[in-house]
Amino acid sequence: MAPGASATGGEEAIKSEARVTREKARRVLQAAAVEAFGRPGAYVTRNLVMRRASISELEEFWTIARYLDEKGWIAEADDDYGVFVVTTAGVEEATK
């Protein structure tokens, strides 16, 4: 173990990273719902959602978008999530 490191330090870092990811995913979902004017099935564009959610890294957005897609909160995305729709479940989740 490195000097100054604790056995739980790594675990805390993982929990912190997971929390940030969930927070960013929620921010992206909320931004997408706003861009869709709260209408499930409305198409939104990645660039506007990224800007509204304050996400600047494309790779980070893709990771978050895949997560939201797996949860069923977004759908009908093109290959790079340039355009997608927010599902009914996604709008409900965004407004919790």
- Tally of domains in the chain: 1
Average pLDDT value for residue range 15-34: 83
For residues 38-76, b (16+ Cβ closer than 10 Å) or e, as one string? eeeeeebebeebbebbebeeeeebeebbebbbeeebbbe
- Domain CATH number, residue 46: 1.10.10.10
Position 12 in a domain: no
- What number is the average pLDDT over the span 51-76? 95
Residue 30 has a pLDDT of: 98
**18 lies in some domain:** no
Q: Is residue 56 predicted with pLDDT exceeding 80?
A: yes
Top pLDDT among 21 and 13 is at 21
pLDDT bracket for residue 17 (50, 70, 90):
low
Does a structural domain hold residue 41? Answer: yes
47 in a domain, yes or no? Answer: yes
Burial of residue 10, with CB atoms counted within 10 A of its CB: 0-12 exposed, 13-18 middle, 19 or more buried: exposed
User: Does residue 15 lie within any of the structural domains?
Assistant: no
CB atoms within 10 A of CB 28: 26
Mean pLDDT confidence for 30-50:
97
**Within a domain: 14:** no
Residue 21: what pLDDT?
84
Q: Is residue 83 part of a domain?
A: yes
